[in-house]
Structure 1
Amino acid sequence: MKEIKAIVKAYDDISPGTHAALATVVRVEGSSYRRTGARMLVLDNGSWTGGISGGCLEGDALKRARLAINNSRPTLITYDTTEDDPHQIGVGLGCNGVIDVLFTPLDLHDKKNPVEILKSCVQASRDTHVLLTVTHLEGNWNIVREGNVIKYTDANSLTIINSRTIESQIDDKVNLQLVENKSAPAQFTAEGNHIEIFIEILPPEISVILMGHQYDVYPMSRLLKELDWRVSICGDVLKINPQIRSYTDQIVAMTDLTSLTIDDHTAIILMAHDFNTDKQNLLKALSTPASFIGMLGPKVRSEKIWKELSDEGHEISPADMERIYAPVGLDIGAVTPEEIALSLAAGIKAAFAKRDGNFLKFRDTPIHTRN
């Protein structure tokens, strides 16, 4: 979401008379530094925001984007780094991947252009959005055009396709991708017409609630904000340095946890450094739909909290134990508050990505799922 926000801001700052195009990675086959959904906003003055690779394709992308602006027509370009052709952009990088990038000129007066649709997603960031980008068409199409982005909410969003057979096929595929929580390219054919689309599942930004007000919330807040996650502090407001406000979205009293928006994309970290406070805060956290609840301190401390709660009639269910990460964080040998913040942030990311946080050198399969 951070890149999308940067693109939206750059788009809103475009000067009158300036033209722009949006480059979007819509398909990746094999290995690539960036994955599908990576974007790059290019202005006709040569400035750009975002990126579609590690820097190796951006130079050519600038030319392609400006060409799309001049031609007023979307263009789908394939970069193949698996070929030995010395004239192919990206050869010699060792990525061994095929990347499809859609270059779409933007009509700045069209409130349904791709960046305007992205802006609407940013403004409703706690929702999971589904965007369908039309990348290729064959046959007779009355309304839909290459480069169109359809914001899917239900089957009724697909009436622009004007083919009930294909609409039904797309609806089934979208719901499958929602279950898998993965973006993917797809193609559909019916009645002599063919359409290729990029189905993008855009989850909300991760939200982290730090329940505590000690000095270690400061490096944690700074790191999380650099990741562009949503950061809230729940603690003794009078003891929180006002300077931390620039790194947080909300600061509330410990008794006001329920005033915060908490969903299944939320992580709650118990870091009061007080046994009884953390014990009571664990009960509060378990009453929310947060899918990640982290507890600082050694495992024996957490086990003592669980036992005392059980003795007091608050038995923690197996399902709730699945949500609890104690001790929280990855084992990186963290010692300082900054290193501990790194360990915690990495652990949260691994949990939401359903990864184990191990060294990539020990991974037997590709880092990302391949098409």
Structure 2
Amino acid sequence: MKEVQDIVAAYDEAQREGRQTALATVVHVLGSSYRRPGARMLVTDDGKLTGAISGGCLEGDALRKARLVMARQQALLATYDTTDEDDAKLGVGLGCNGIIQILIEPIDPANPLNPIQLLKTFLRHRQTAVLVTLFSLAHRKAEQPGTCFLMEQNGYIKGHALADKTLQAALEAQAKEALQTGASSFVAYDDGQQLTSFVEVLKPPVALVVVGAGNDAIPLVQLADVLGWEITVVDGRANYATAARFPLAKRVLVAKPELLLAHISPDNLTAFVLMTHNYNYDSAVLRQILPLQPPYIGSLGPKKKLGRMLEELEGEGVPVTEAQRQVLYGPTGLDIGSETSEEIALSIIAEIKAVFSRRSGAPLRDKPDVIHPRQDAVIRKASFSGQVDASAETG
């Protein structure tokens, strides 16, 4: 989500400078590539790039095409096929062995429903949303519809209504399904135009609550900021929990443990790390947040410390369920041999990312299959009526 935040900020800066802009989005990948569908890059007419659509090998060619898009004010679908061993003929030397589809759209600042404005709408609320984009793989030189609409979590739609009401209804149904499943999808509509939809689930950033404002919390906050996470630092010590010490945090709170939940509202993307080095404070916070069962509660220090906290809770008649134990990580962090506070912060951030991504945190070298499941890129087929045939797949 950091990429979207940076793109929006860069767009606002470009508008202040009177620059033209275009947005390049990876809308489909077949095979291997450095970036996956949903990766974005903002291009300005003076050649400034924000975000990334590859590891650096596509950006130069995309810049050239983006300038053409800005000049013509017409979207373009660029295809990079690296399945040929001699991919050097593309002039980009990818070596990824995949087919990458990149939609490049001109951004009209006078249009309140342009793609950047839709991304801004998403960023305003800490809620999951779905962005629907249409493109034509069969007719790459034809007009590309591009970004259509954003469906918010409450079902509200902001964007352009298609002239084809049947297709509009089918896309809305697909967006609702994506909100329910939390999974992005691709559907090819056989309606004469042979359009493909990229229905992309946009999730808010991780909310990291750092319970403890000691010196070792500083690198943890710094690393979380690099990822674009929303950071709250809380401590009972007013001389530690200050904005001057944690300028990158969204909020810095001085609060007693029993008042913590009066200041924050945890959701299913909230992670807590208990690291005050004050046993009683950490234990009191754990008492408050454990019943909420957030996806991640990390406890800095030895396993014995967390075990003692749980024993005390149960001794006081507060049952600790197996489901609650599953969200507890103590000691917090992955085993990477961390010693310094910076290394410990790295291990904690990596573990939180692994937990939220439902990954093991094991070396990719030992992964028996590809990094990204190929079924994630499958394009399902739909009839003109919009009925999706799950058994008919392409790509």
Give the TM-score, by structure 1 length. 0.91
Alignment of 1:218-229 (within 5 A): 218-229=218-229
Q: How many angstroms does 1:328 deviate by? A: 1.4
Q: How many angstroms does 1:286 deviate by? A: 1.5
Distance 1:10 1:39 in 2: 12
Alignment of 1:227-306 (within 5 A): 227-240=227-240, 242=242, 243-255=244-256, 256-258=259-261, 259-288=263-292, 290-306=294-310
Residue 365 of structure 2 aligns to which amino acid in structure 1? K
Alignment of 1:71-86 (within 5 A): 71-83=72-84, 84=86, 86=88
Q: How many angstroms does 1:236 deviate by? A: 1.9
Whether the aligned pair in 2 keeps the contact of 1:79 and 1:90 (CA below 8 Å) is no
Whether the aligned pair in 2 keeps the contact of 1:219 and 1:338 (CA below 8 Å) is yes
Residue 224 of structure 2 aligns to which amino acid in structure 1? L
Query: Counterpart in 1 of 2:108?
Result: 107
Q: List per-residue Cα deviations over 1:124-181 (Å, max 9, x = no partner).
A: 2x11111001223999xxxx97123311133866982355543453344334433443
Q: List per-residue Cα deviations over 1:320-345 (Å, max 9, x = no partner).
A: 12221222111111111111101100
Change (3 A) 1:340 1:85: closer
Residue 234 of structure 2 aligns to which amino acid in structure 1? C
Other structure's SS at 1:297 match: coil
Counterpart check, 1:324 vs 2:323: no
Other structure's SS at 2:190 match: strand
More moved, 12-21 vs 70-79: 12-21
Query: Counterpart in 2 of 1:355?
Result: 359
Q: How many angstroms does 1:306 deviate by? A: 1.1
Whether the aligned pair in 1 keeps the contact of 2:28 and 2:102 (CA below 8 Å) is yes
Q: How many angstroms does 1:108 deviate by? A: 1.3
Query: Counterpart in 1 of 2:197?
Result: 197
Other structure's SS at 2:96 match: coil
Query: Counterpart in 1 of 2:21?
Result: 20
Q: List per-residue Cα deviations over 1:30-55 (Å, max 9, x = no partner).
A: 11111111111111222221111111
Other structure's SS at 1:246 match: coil
Query: Counterpart in 2 of 1:188?
Result: 189
Residue 366 of structure 2 aligns to which amino acid in structure 1? F
Whether the aligned pair in 1 keeps the contact of 2:298 and 2:328 (CA below 8 Å) is yes
Distance 1:57 1:343 in 2: 32
Other structure's SS at 1:4 match: helix
Residue 295 of structure 1 aligns to which amino acid in structure 2? S
Residue 358 of structure 2 aligns to which amino acid in structure 1? K
Distance 2:60 2:38 in 1: 19
Q: List per-residue Cα deviations over 1:68-117 (Å, max 9, x = no partner).
A: 111211010111111235422434x3211111000101111111111111
Residue 233 of structure 2 aligns to which amino acid in structure 1? I
Q: How many angstroms does 1:17 deviate by? A: 4.6
Distance 2:19 2:165 in 1: 39
Q: How many angstroms does 1:16 deviate by? A: 5.5
Distance 2:367 2:39 in 1: 24
Distance 1:211 1:228 in 2: 19
Candidates 88, 96, 103, aligned match of 2:90: 88
Distance 2:299 2:98 in 1: 41
Whether the aligned pair in 2 keeps the contact of 1:75 and 1:103 (CA below 8 Å) is yes
Distance 1:16 1:302 in 2: 54
Distance 2:234 2:83 in 1: 51
Change (3 A) 1:232 1:17: closer
Q: How many angstroms does 1:19 deviate by? A: 1.6
More moved, 208-217 vs 171-180: 171-180
Distance 1:55 1:155 in 2: 37
Other structure's SS at 2:90 match: coil
Whether the aligned pair in 2 keeps the contact of 1:269 and 1:293 (CA below 8 Å) is yes
Q: How many angstroms does 1:368 deviate by? A: 1.5
Distance 1:238 1:270 in 2: 17
Other structure's SS at 1:64 match: helix
Change (3 A) 1:156 1:260: closer
Other structure's SS at 1:260 match: coil
Distance 2:322 2:343 in 1: 31
Q: Which runs of 5+ in 2 are unaligned?
A: 378-395
Residue 260 of structure 1 aligns to which amino acid in structure 2? I
Q: List per-residue Cα deviations over 1:208-240 (Å, max 9, x = no partner).
A: 001123221112111111222111111124131
Give the TM-score, by structure 2 length. 0.85
Pairwise CA RMSD: 2.3
Other structure's SS at 1:160 match: coil
Whether the aligned pair in 2 keeps the contact of 1:270 and 1:296 (CA below 8 Å) is yes
Query: Counterpart in 2 of 1:39?
Result: 40
Query: Counterpart in 2 of 1:207?
Result: 207
Distance 2:92 2:197 in 1: 25
Distance 1:145 1:278 in 2: 55
Distance 1:350 1:181 in 2: 17
Distance 1:16 1:226 in 2: 26
Change (3 A) 1:46 1:164: closer
Identity value in percent: 37
Distance 2:196 2:351 in 1: 37
Other structure's SS at 1:239 match: coil
Residue 73 of structure 2 aligns to which amino acid in structure 1? S
Whether the aligned pair in 2 keeps the contact of 1:263 and 1:289 (CA below 8 Å) is no
Change (3 A) 1:293 1:85: closer
Query: Counterpart in 2 of 1:11?
Result: 11
